[in-house]
Amino acid sequence: MPGQTVGWDRLRLRLRSTAPPLCPPAPRPAGALAPDCEVCRGPMRPGFARCYQCRRHARLGHGLLADAVVPISYAIRGTAFAGDLWQYKSGWAPAASARASVLALLLAFLADHGRCVWRHAGMPPPECLAVVPTGAGRPGPHPLLHLVSPYLCLPGCPLALRPGRQGRDLDPERFQVLARPAGASVLLLDDTWVSGASAQSAAAALRLAGASHVAAVILGRHVNPDDPASAPLLTGLAPARYDPLACAVHRPLR
């Protein structure tokens, strides 16, 4: 509808004018060598298609991982965007500007490229919404869920950290699924992907609980600029304001 179009245009304008610059991953050329992991789009060693962590996840969680992992942008340590991803959920004093930027970015990306994500995951539009819990087991709803749930008209599929299951490796039993997504396709949101163990553990829990598909949308794929393995990836990145055409899995319609 015209009013809705105007609303989305205003949201994109806000992102381009006030939100921190982004470094979105570009679609990977089919069959071409790339400096990023084919799953999480993070840095990796030359000669591999996947980073060490994603290769390990494939061994430990075969058949249980997310059907697609789509980072909206790289979150390079020390940049304003990486700062927003920390400040929007700060336990001491969440920054209102960071919360507004995070919410606007996620809503705009899902509006502009949700169909790209569902197509890449080989699934219909999602029927349920889940958010990866924090590793520390923060009490109450996750700040990201609190932000987006009023705007995404999807039933919630809550996840809870099981006592004593914190860890840095994939663990299908780390999270308890509090509402069974039997046969449903699930949109799984996470603010920051570092190793991916939490997100893939959440995807595995959802799959074991009956989800038919899981698409993980990540606000920021963490990159440490001090890591030598990040150099080839960072060389090709140019920070820019939000671009509604930028999407890691966008493919032209035929």
Give the pLDDT confidence score for residue 147 in this predicted structure: 93
Give the pLDDT confidence score for residue 1 in this predicted structure: 37
Please indicate whether residue 98 or residue 3 has the higher confidence score (pLDDT): 98
Percent of the chain with pLDDT strictly greater than 90: 72
For the chain, which residues make up each domain, given as ranges? 2-235
- For 44-83, b/e burial (b = at least 16 CB within 10 A) is beeeeebbebbebbeebbeebbbbbbbbbbbbbeebebbe
Give the pLDDT confidence score for residue 176 in this predicted structure: 94
Confidence of residue 139 (pLDDT cuts 50, 70, 90): low
Alpha-carbon distance of 203 to 193, in angstroms, equals 13
DSSP 8-state class, residue 182: T
Confidence of residue 2 (pLDDT cuts 50, 70, 90): very low
Give the pLDDT confidence score for residue 29 in this predicted structure: 76
pLDDT tens track for 171-203: 999 999 998 888 999 999 999 999 999 999 999
Mean pLDDT score of the chain: 90
Give the pLDDT confidence score for residue 51 in this predicted structure: 94
pLDDT tens track for 190-237: 999 999 999 999 999 999 999 999 999 999 999 999 999 999 999 989
Confidence of residue 94 (pLDDT cuts 50, 70, 90): confident
Give the pLDDT confidence score for residue 254 in this predicted structure: 43
In angstroms, how far is the first alpha carbon of the chain from the final one?
A: 25
Residue 135 pLDDT > 70:
no
Confidence of residue 90 (pLDDT cuts 50, 70, 90): confident
DSSP 8-state class, residue 143: H
Q: pTM of the predicted model, to two decimals?
A: 0.93
Confidence of residue 5 (pLDDT cuts 50, 70, 90): low
Q: Which of these, 63, 57, 29, 35, lies nearest to 48 by C-alpha position?
A: 35
Please indicate whether residue 112 or residue 3 has the higher confidence score (pLDDT): 112
Q: Which H or E run includes 10?
A: helix 2-18
User: In this structure, what token pair is assigned to residue 225?
Assistant: 């600029």
Give the pLDDT confidence score for residue 14 in this predicted structure: 87
Give the pLDDT confidence score for residue 136 in this predicted structure: 64
CATH of domain 2-235: 3.40.50.2020
Give the pLDDT confidence score for residue 100 in this predicted structure: 93
